[in-house]
Amino acid sequence: MFGFLKQVGDYTRDAVDAARNLTQGLAVTFDHMQRRPVTVQYPYEKLIPSERYRGRIHYEFDKCIACEVCVRVCPINLPVVDWVMNKQTKKKELRNYSIDFGVCIFCGNCVEYCPTNCLSMTEEYELAAFDRHSLNFDNVALGRLPTSVTTDASVQPLRELAYLPVGEMDPHGVAADRPRAGQLPDQVLASMPKSAADGGESSSTTTKEENAG
Amino acid sequence: MVTSLATTMTALVSPGLDLEFSFSQALQGLGLSPDVAHLLWLPLPMLLVLVAAVVGVLVTVWLERKISAAVQQRIGPEYAGALGVLQPLADGLKLLVKEDIIPARADSVLFTLGPVLVVVPVILSWLIVPFGQNLLVSNVGVGIFLWISLSSIQPIGLLMSGYASNNKYSLLGGLRAAAQSISYEIPLALAVLAVVMMSNSLSTIDIVDQQTGAGLLSWNIWRQPVGFLIFWICALAECERLPFDLPEAEEELVAGYQTEYAGMKFALFYLGSYINLVLSALLVSVLYLGGWGFPIPVEWLAGWMGQSVDAPLVQVITGTVGIVMTVLKAYLLVFFAILLRWTTPRVRIDQLLNLGWKFLLPLALVNLLVTAALKLAFPVAFGG
């Protein structure tokens, strides 16, 4: 008898719990309705990719020494380096270089390890094609620079949330010259007292910047 | 028609607008016989209700898309008309001119008959939806029972189209739809029965009349809170709305019984499901939220302003307020259904049947018994 009553009690408690959870969920969805849309009207508006965005890879043919490091660090040995050994000069002569972006996972290992910095990441991400073979970029295609979102007259560039000024949530109508929230590493460095800036931190930063340049 | 006239004559409450009577009076004034006038009147409310149902669907589709977008912090349709109000119209037009495909291995007769059997009962059910004292197509004596029996035809159409498509997903969807409709019809009918018991009538007009005594306070929702919940859950299940949309669960069954349908046949399913949603919302407002009743009775308001309830202007205003109130209540419920769609995850088939048979059915039975007991104990408050 009491077992049955306990069962009924448990069942009722479950039902009440379920109802309460449902109301909580409804409160959440109802609250979300008042929030502003985060829509970016894509072909007309585009987000500015972040500085370290890993987009389509750019390649400079003249800098390449055909060392094939990019092939070795690539997870699937994707870059095709077509070179011949010149017997007279005893040097490699590069003929062609290609990366198939239909297969590339944009991990950036090749860019990271390239000894002459002939590989770099661009902010291009619109790689849709009608034929997958057209995604196999040769050294000419790899050498083209993408059009920047900020310079394209037909596109309204929008800043991502992290790049907006303090207090701004909507990128629409934010003036381009208003600085982003927070400081960049070099700004932090400049604001620090001289003695602290002379420490190990600054030297490592400068070496990195020298590498990048 | 005749019955609606008869109820008007015998009704003790304010007769309200009687458009048919005025219409036939006007035509008889032009020298037509009463029979011809009646014949000319007949198609008008039917056409009006059909148009109202379709417009209601267009509004619901637009609302669904806009509210869904708002819940997900998107914008939703924007370019077709102001705020995208013409988007559902554009969708309908697209479906209208699309190729009508009948799969080669499908049973073409059943395949065509399926969507028709789904839509016709739903539209037919609008017969009994009242927007005012005389503002309904026909005041059928068995009103709400007619709706319950008509909605039982729908699963046959769903099963038919699922089976005739000759597709495993369609068949599974059709079977689920049939199982769902059958198991949720019983608690639904029991919840309705409790209301019917309180108002001593199956007619939707009488059910609303019984709730008009003291405005907001006399609505059935206060006397039937459990019944209201049961009815709403079951109505959602009957409409295959989201917590219960297993028959067309797109992640598992492609589109359920609609998988093989395209063009106008698909549009019929689409139309049918949305008409059904609006109809269910209207019936919830009729059964539990006082139908066309204003939260404060219009008769009181007229009395306070020193106007006679029978004055023509007051009658027109009362009729308008009635239509607005019915539609407003229904669309509030539609809004709630859409919000619920983005709040609740889909239930599994076993959870669905458990909820229907092990929770709602006993609860509806207890609700019915308690209502009967209360009716015997407090005949004043529970329509003795």
Report CB contact under 8 Å: A37, B344. Answer: no
* Of residues A32, A36, A39, nearest to B71 (C-beta): A32
* Of residues A29, A36, A37, nearest to B339 (C-beta): A29
Q: Which two tokens stand for residue A75?
A: 């997870």
Q: Which residues contact B250 (CB under 8 A, 6 or more apart)?
A: none
A140-191: pLDDT as tens digits: 999 998 888 888 888 888 888 888 888 888 888 888 888 888 888 888 888 8
Bridge-partner residues for A157, per DSSP? Answer: A46
List chain A residues with CB under 8 Å of B226: none
Residue A93 CA to residue A49 CA, distance in Å, equals 36
Residue A196 binned pLDDT confidence (cut-offs 50, 70, 90) = low
Which residues of A have a CB under 8 Å from any CB of B? 15, 22, 25-26, 28-30, 32-33, 35-39
User: What single-letter amino acid sits at B76?
Assistant: G
Report CB contact under 8 Å: B73, A29. Answer: no
Residue B360 CA to residue B237 CA, distance in Å, equals 12
Q: Name the closest residue on chain A to residue B363, using Cα atoms.
A: A12
| Residue found under tokens 């239930």 | B347
Q: Which of A4, A7, A21, A29 to mutate to test the interface with B (most CBs of B within 10 A)?
A: A29
**A-to-B residue pairs, Cβ atoms closer than 8 angstroms:** 34
* Of residues A29, A35, A37, nearest to B75 (C-beta): A37
Asked if the model's pLDDT at residue A115 lies above 90, the reply is yes
Asked if the model's pLDDT at residue A109 lies above 90, the reply is yes
* Of residues B67, B73, B343, nearest to A35 (C-beta): B73
Q: Which two tokens stand for residue A139?
A: 């050294």
pLDDT at res. A95: 92
Report CB contact under 8 Å: A25, B344. Answer: yes
Spell out the alpha helix ranges (H) of B165-203.
168-199
Q: For residue B379, which of B206, B197, B142, B141 has the smallest C-alpha distance? A: B197
Q: Which of B67, B339, B343 to mutate to test the interface with A (most CBs of A within 10 A)?
A: B343
Q: Which two tokens stand for residue A105?
A: 């996972």
Q: Which two tokens stand for residue B162?
A: 């699922």
Residue B322 CA to residue B298 CA, distance in Å, equals 9
Length of chain A: 213
Q: Name the closest residue on chain A to residue B73, using Cα atoms.
A: A37
* Of residues A15, A26, A33, nearest to B70 (C-beta): A33
* Per-position DSSP letters for A51-111, written without gaps between them: TT---SEEE-GGG-----HHHHHSTT---EEEEEEETTTTEEEEEEEEEETTT-----HHH
List chain B residues with CB under 8 Å of A38: 73-74
Pairing of strands A91-100, A80-86: antiparallel
List chain A residues with CB under 8 Å of B344: 22, 25
Report CB contact under 8 Å: A33, B359. Answer: no
Backbone phi and psi for residue A103, each to the nearest 5 degrees, phi listed first: -110, -30
Which residues of B have a CB under 8 Å from any CB of A? 67, 69-75, 339-340, 342-344, 359
Report CB contact under 8 Å: A32, B344. Answer: no
Q: Which of A33, A41, A170, A172 to mutate to test the interface with B (most CBs of B within 10 A)?
A: A33
pLDDT at res. B17: 63
A58-77: pLDDT as tens digits: 999 999 999 999 999 999 99
Asked whether the beta carbons of B357 and B166 are under 8 A apart, the reply is no
Report CB contact under 8 Å: A26, B340. Answer: yes
Q: Which two tokens stand for residue B28?
A: 């008889």
Compute the nearest-CA separation of A33 from chain B (Å): 4
Pairing of strands A45-47, A156-158: parallel
* Of residues A22, A32, A37, nearest to B344 (C-beta): A22
Report CB contact under 8 Å: A26, B343. Answer: yes
* Of residues B75, B344, B359, nearest to A39 (C-beta): B75
Report CB contact under 8 Å: A26, B339. Answer: yes
List chain B residues with CB under 8 Å of A37: 69-70, 73-75
- In the three-class reduction of DSSP (H, G, I as helix; E, B as strand; rest coil), residue B278 is classed as helix
Asked whether the beta carbons of B286 and B129 are under 8 A apart, the reply is yes
Q: Name the closest residue on chain B to residue A32, using Cα atoms.
A: B71
Asked whether the beta carbons of B130 and B287 are under 8 A apart, the reply is no
Q: Which residues contact B283 (CB under 8 A, 6 or more apart)?
A: B129, B144, B147, B204, B235
Report CB contact under 8 Å: B70, A37. Answer: yes
pLDDT at res. B16: 55
Q: Name the closest residue on chain A to residue B358, using Cα atoms.
A: A11
Average pLDDT value for chain A: 86
pLDDT at res. A35: 84
Average of pLDDT values for A14-31?
A: 90
* Per-position DSSP letters for A6-31, written without gaps between them: HHHHHHHHHHHHHHHHHHHHHHHHHH
pLDDT one digit per residue (tens) for chain B, 384 residues: 444 443 443 343 445 567 777 777 888 888 778 888 778 877 888 888 888 888 889 999 999 999 999 999 888 888 887 888 888 888 888 988 988 888 888 888 989 898 999 899 988 888 888 887 777 777 778 888 899 888 888 889 888 988 888 888 888 888 888 888 888 999 999 999 999 988 888 888 888 888 887 778 888 888 889 999 999 999 999 888 878 888 887 777 787 888 888 888 898 888 888 999 999 999 999 889 888 888 887 777 778 887 777 777 877 888 888 888 889 999 999 999 999 988 988 888 888 888 888 889 999 999 999 999 988 888 877 776
Residue B106 has what DSSP assignment?
Answer: S
Q: Name the closest residue on chain B to residue A23, using Cα atoms.
A: B343
Report CB contact under 8 Å: A37, B342. Answer: no
* Of residues A15, A28, A38, nearest to B73 (C-beta): A38
Compute the nearest-CA separation of A54 from chain B (Å): 27
Q: Which two tokens stand for residue B319?
A: 């009729």
pLDDT at res. A164: 87
Buried/exposed code over B165-180 (b: 16+ C-beta within 10 A; e: otherwise) = bebebbbbbbbbbbbb
Residue B24 CA to residue B78 CA, distance in Å, equals 45
Helix (H) or strand (E) holding B232: helix B225-238
Q: Which residues contact B245 (CB under 8 A, 6 or more apart)?
A: B346
Bridge-partner residues for A93, per DSSP? Answer: A84
Residue A73 CA to residue B62 CA, distance in Å, equals 53
Measured at the alpha carbon of residue B17, what is the angle toward residues B15 and B23, in degrees to the nearest 5?
125
